[in-house]
Chain A
């Protein structure tokens, strides 16, 4: 028997209630001429301007790590961003938060905690990644060393597409989903990306036929079902609800969150077709007092189609085993009943490493601020479920975002 612990959640609208007030993003894709730090400064400047703040109003920087190289990561760790933004001598601290693909959710929790506890007033959270311009074999090697136990799984030749293959095989077996139904997931995301000028594949169409006719990479994953590595950057600014109300008519709050670290090594997850979503969702929905039936849209981590399908079922957005078939029927596509990954997701907006989940989070905030533009704005969006995971899909992190008006 475990004690029931009810956390002291912030009162909505209070000085302890964290609020997203600004977002900034530059296009994802392969942009060899764009520098790592240039991306950070531009995305940060856009977010600060969107928040209607001066750069000097930022008193805390939370950094989302890059994975393309140690020197740039070191620049993040050793406060280069504070100096580049002209905030040296002003910010209280500049700190990195890292949990792979779910970093966005953990960075948000940390920023919200700093605000709720009075440790910070205006927090800038920013990511920048250069995966699209990095050497592909070097990235394959990096992703077959990191997150895979060297004693136990490296001797099998495991790497990230193989983990995707193992999960997809298991998911297709459990759900009875066909190759065409799995491919429909990538097509729905591409249809969304075709509405997002910042997406890597804004101008390229994708079809089920093209996917199932592409070469097999790691059975049952085809070439067009693998994530495309991209360069990109994004940022957001958080403050308290009382501060937000001074300059903004609308902002976004965190209604609740949930999380579960289910495993480290892919071989040790009890069922790779489930992952940690069920436990995380139970916590998140209880905390927020609302659930999938109340949500207007979702932004859920999608580095492989099966990873997204598993998440949607764990989140109870789809019935068990039905997510891929629901994609195939168009439920999650533009014009469908439940808008999902409206920026195109990692699979079509571009996989910007740890930043891919951050791009989804930013899109969720953008939708709730009603700033997604005429092509893809979800009409009157009030509530969004954001889901993150990473590594060997070791954890499931959920943010329940709510639009607030003054």
Chain B
């Protein structure tokens, strides 16, 4: 997948919607993409207005495998933000993708309905949430890798 950001008025990304829109649109299709610098090929998360490595404004997107490692996680049991319309508990993780970039994400519960099986540094895979969830809260979800 090689979507290039739509650039207008002198060729720069002008607002957060232009910057983040393609990520949410890909999630809605069950795909995980990260930003890619079309000049130096750096993979970038979170998407930036300029490449943090070479400072180019020539930026596009790159679909990743969805395989990665769980750097850390937490199960929030009390005090979710009022604006976040999900009942506690829920599990948040930070995943380092095999391609390099890392991101804050949601973790699927196991078959027992808990998150007790997660440990730091374990292998995880991108498993998209359903379309209604992604439309409401555009986050990437991960599960423990099988085997």
The chain A residues found within 8 Å of chain B, CB to CB, are: 137, 140-141, 144-145, 149, 151-159, 161-162, 165-170, 173, 215-221, 265-268, 270-272
The distance from the CB of B26 to the nearest CB of chain A, in whole angstroms, is: 14
| B38 contacts partner chain A, Cβ-Cβ < 8 Å | no
Chain A residues closer than 8 Å to B46, beta-carbon distance = 149, 151-152, 265, 267-268
Bound CA–CA A403/B94 (angstroms) = 43
Q: How far is the CA of A219 from the CA of B117 in the complex (A)?
A: 13
Closest to B104 in A: A267
Q: Which residues of B contact A140 (CB under 8 A)?
A: 79, 81-82
A162–B75 Cα distance when bound, in Å, is 8
- Size of the chain B interface, CB-CB below 8 angstroms: 34
- B94 and A267 contacting across the interface, CB-CB below 8 Å: yes
Partner of A145, one of B81, B119, B137: B81
Which residues in B have their C-beta under 8 angstroms from that of A170?
71-72, 120
Who on chain B is nearest to A158 by CB?
A: B92
Given known contacts A151-B16, A162-B92, A265-B46, A156 and B104 CB-to-CB distance under 8 angstroms:
yes
A141 and B81 in contact, given A156-B104, A170-B71, A267-B103 (Cβ under 8 angstroms): yes
Nearest opposing residue in chain A for B86, CB measure: A157
The answer to whether A265 touches B71 (Cβ under 8 A) is no
What 1/0 mask marks residues of chain B from 47 to 79 whose CB sits below 8 Å from any chain A CB? 000000000000000000000000111111111
Contact B78 A265 (CB under 8 A): no
Q: Are B79 and A156 in contact (CB under 8 A)?
A: no
Residue of B nearest to A142 (CB): B81
What chain A residues lie within 8 Å of B102 (beta carbons)?
Answer: 267-268, 270
- With a cutoff of 8 Å between Cβ atoms, the chain A residues found around residue B139 in the complex are 155-156
Given the interface contacts A156-B105, A267-B94, A267-B102, does A173 sit within 8 Å of B74 by beta carbon?
no
Q: Which residue of B73, B82, B121 contacts A141 across the interface (Cβ within 8 Å)?
A: B82
Q: Is the CB of A219 within 8 A of B138?
A: no
Whether A272 touches B94, Cβ cut-off 8 Å, given contacts A144-B84, A152-B46, A265-B104, is: yes
In the complex, the chain B residue whose C-beta lies closest to that of A137 is B82
Q: How distant is A394 from chain B, measured CB to nearest CB, in Å? A: 14
Interface bits B30-49 vs A (CB < 8 Å: 1, else 0): 00000000000000011000
Mask for B74-112, Cβ within 8 A of A = 1, else 0? Answer: 111111111110100010101000000011111000000
Judge if B20 is at the interface, Cβ distance under 8 Å: yes
Task: Chain A residues near B137: list those with CB within 8 A.
Answer: 155-157
**What residues of chain B lie closer than 8 Å to A157, measured between beta carbons?**
76, 80-81, 84, 86, 90, 92, 106, 137
Residue of B at shortest CB range from A174? Answer: B120
Selected from A151, A152, A156, A265, the residue in CB contact (under 8 A) with B92 is A156
Residues of A contacting B86 in the complex (Cβ-Cβ under 8 angstroms):
157
- State whether A165 touches B74 (Cβ < 8 A): yes
Closest to A164 in B: B74
B45, B77, B105: which contacts A217 (Cβ < 8 A)? B77
Given B16, B81, B138, which contacts A159 in the complex, CB threshold below 8 Å? B81
Q: In the docked arrangement, what's the CA distance between A162 and B71, Å?
A: 14
Give bound CA distance, A272 to B105, whole Å: 15
B20, B82, B92, most chain A CB atoms within 10 A: B92
- Cα(A215)–Cα(B104), bound, Å: 25
**A166 and B121 alpha carbons, distance in the complex (Å):** 13
Contacts of A162 in B (CB 8 A): 74, 76, 92
Whole-angstrom CA separation of A165 from B133 in the bound complex = 24
Contact of A155 among B16, B94, B120, B138 (CB under 8 A): B138
